[in-house]
Structure 1
Amino acid sequence: MKINRLENDNINRNVMEVLVAEEIDRQIGRLPSNIKKFINPIEVATYALNRLPALYASSQQGFNKQKLKGRSEYSVHITQQVRKGFAAIQKDLLRSSTPLVADKERDLNQDIQDAEEALKELAAYLPEKDLSWRNIVKLVKPILAELQEQDEAEINARNVRSKTSNMWEDSIYKK
């Protein structure tokens, strides 16, 4: 089944994600602060959600209905899976992972990274090395204005030379 997002801006949502997030917040609140800093709630949620049924809704009424169903039928199971998720991610504290990001966020992060690299490269060519996005216009504008003036002066000088040299070539005073 193909869904055309342009024609239909409605979304659907897995209510189980909300219920799991609530449970994670509740359980994190009970943990000592020295352990909290090692917990990645996204990893706990992923662990638990992979072991729980999905409860999708596409309307507010359906969302409320699924939330009631999730709380009444699955609350014990949600609590157990979240607890197991905490245990699973605590076993390997040194494990590193690269989190997934939304496509738009990934594009934006790449654009920001490219812009920062371009700014560093530009700073290498400027006399003022303290270049930032806040002061770029203030630092670059005078340099560009000076270059523009030099270009205009050079063009005018070329025009004068070319006009005079043509006149000299056709002149009767030529030796």
Structure 2
Amino acid sequence: MSIEKIVEQALHDGYLTPAMEAEVGRICDTASELSIEEYMALDRLMGALLTGEVVAVPRKQFINVMEELVLSEAIARVAEIEATSNRVLDVGDIAAYALNRLPPLYATTEEGANFQRERAKETLQELIGEQVNEAIARNLDRPNEGRQILGQGSDMLKQVSNLLKAYAPNYEQKNSSGNF
């Protein structure tokens, strides 16, 4: 999406979402030079933000406690395996596999995160271990050879953006009730 279209959307909706802001930043970072039209659009956006005509939607700060629990378990298990064999395992692949089979545990405060950690240790620790073990077994059977890993190559953001457009084409638009 172009800067002009993003600004037009923000002016129409009255909101600049984090995704819109990130896209403008990406365009500005990757362009060798912005056009007059792009500068004018950015100027319109800045003016609208300053007057309150457009409101920047803040990024919600939250964590998925399950990610840190799964990563800790995966790192410990992978270290054991790599120390006793000549196998090299992909911790990210293992964690992603296990996370896709476990419930998320989101928190927005430190107290909430501590609550989620305790809850998980009491009720989900065994399940976490099982899913990490299954992920390791699959990783040993099917290594990542020949697959393009996210984050490698300059097209990663484009790949993720295309996936989001394909699976959630109206995500950044208001629904008919005007709520997000």
Whether 1:12 aligns to 2:62 is yes
**In the alignment, which residue of structure 2 is the partner of 1:24?**
74
Name which one, 1 or 2, has greater alpha-carbon Rg.
Answer: 1
Displacement after TM superposition at 1:67 (Å): 1.1
For 1:48-72, what per-residue CA distance to the aligned partner results, in whole angstroms no more than 9, with x for missing partners? 0111111111122111111111111
Partners of 1:78 and 1:28 in 2: CA distance? 14
- CA 1:93–1:60: 2 relative to 1, 3 Å: same
Q: Which amino acid aligns with 1:90?
A: L
Partners of 1:3 and 1:18 in 2: CA distance? 31
Whether 1:58 aligns to 2:71 is no
Q: Which amino acid aligns with 2:88?
A: F
**In the alignment, which residue of structure 2 is the partner of 1:68?**
118
Partners of 1:13 and 1:105 in 2: CA distance? 26
Contact 2:65 2:117 in 1 (8 A): yes
Partners of 2:140 and 2:96 in 1: CA distance? 14
Deviation >4 Å, runs of 4+: 34-37, 104-107
Calculate the aligned-residue CA RMSD, in Å: 2.9
Structure 1: stretches of 5+ with no match in the other structure: 108-175
Question: What is the number of residues matched between the two proteins?
Answer: 105
Displacement after TM superposition at 1:35 (Å): 4.3
Q: Which amino acid aligns with 1:91?
A: D
- CA 1:72–1:3: 2 relative to 1, 3 Å: farther
- CA 1:81–1:94: 2 relative to 1, 3 Å: closer
Displacement after TM superposition at 1:47 (Å): 0.9
Q: Which amino acid aligns with 1:27?
A: R
- TM-score normalised to structure 2 length: 0.50
Q: Percent of counterpart pairs with the same letter?
A: 25
- TM-score normalised to structure 1 length: 0.52
More helix by share: 1
